[in-house]
Chain A
């Protein structure tokens, strides 16, 4: 285990000038980064072929630290950039890392459309229920009644369920993991990257500094432990009543379907366009239409 950690440290981290990183001690982002690196390492993807794009927020800094083709884009827009990269060079493995506010508030429209479009992309969404970097304001996944710097009297809105949102928006693969279940998370990310089509991994993570502190959820260890207590495997959750699931959430693969991937479908468009062009050219030649030439 130590050996592999050392290997990953040497092979995948950018050491000169990028560290120390910006994350608070105990932050779940490091666990996600590690799970992602182990997944990529296990899949033996050449570093040159991996593109990692992020938006803005704590999660947005993740690509800075890892040695791939990395793009730290604008807030909420990681998937739009990833779409351009993937369509321009379909042979690359394109992965985005976003936060909950990033992916489902300012980037919510891009997120559901990316799922509907079904390009061969992977989206990892780190859900810590708050905007950590800007100081703990409420996000689309802040639970009803919670306190944040913009809901000091208790939050009056209701939270998105990111993974379920991805399912109904049409993603080919949707999974949920937590930063407690690090090995499981690694597996989920591997499956997502391998999946042909748009794949989503929602990662339940902790922001003890902002969300946890304001809602008396304890320190990093206590918060991460709570994920262990409240996470239920999808297969088990399916058999539980709504009452039994109260305060709990499911982890594992929520959706895994096969559908045409638009990255490849577009090749058909190219062929159709070329066939049609040949037909038109032949017809023109046959009709002998002669245009003025300089």
Chain B
């Protein structure tokens, strides 16, 4: 039994993609700016150096007990390997968001594919900020954070001199996501023919 107020997000990708930074900015926006309860954990040590990288957010109106994800409501996968590894505990009505340029085999049709890295490259001129583009989309589609707070937290957390570039990237992600209509997606990550079996 899970309390309804618990909402879990997992950011995943590979080391160097800025996965953890994106999660920390979102946590800061929710916790310090929106004033909700949030708990953020991340892969650490050898796991975090190269290879897969992940960060998790638990968001709640009430106190948060177990600090890590139990069943994920939203999974962001920025690489195929991360998608394959971390899809397993996505809720049936959870949402998968992937970088369309990096994740070719999407395990469910209840997924949003957006070209985060391509947007970063073409619109901002730096692939480096693909994480912030993705964060914009996650922030928008999760409905768990005010976009104003997301912007404020971003400014407070990114290195000096990179604020404008990161802000643009975040906005580009929000814009891309705002064109998505979630109601057109299947209601479950399990496809209809599987449910019928």
Contacts and interface: CB of A to CB of B under 8 A. Distances in A.
Interface of A: 287, 289-292, 294
B124 interface: no
A195 B154 CA distance: 51
B32 A291 contact: yes
A292 B152 contact: no
A167 B155 CA distance: 50
A292 B34 contact: yes
B145 to A, nearest CB: 12
A292 B35 contact: yes
Contacts of A290: 33, 152
A294 B34 CA distance: 11
Contacts of B35: 292, 294
Nearest to A292: B35
Nearest to B34: A292
B185 interface: no
Contacts of B33: 290-292
A212 B119 CA distance: 83
B156 interface: yes
Most chain B Cβ neighbours within 10 Å, of A287, A290, A291, A294: A291
Nearest to A291: B32
Interface in B132-174: 152, 155-156
B22 to A, nearest CB: 19
Contacts of A294: 35
Contacts of A289: 152, 155-156
Given A290-B33, A291-B33, A292-B34, 6 more contacts: A289-B155, A290-B152, A291-B152, A292-B32, A292-B33, A292-B35
A294 B32 CA distance: 10
Interface string B2-32: 0000000000000000000000000000001
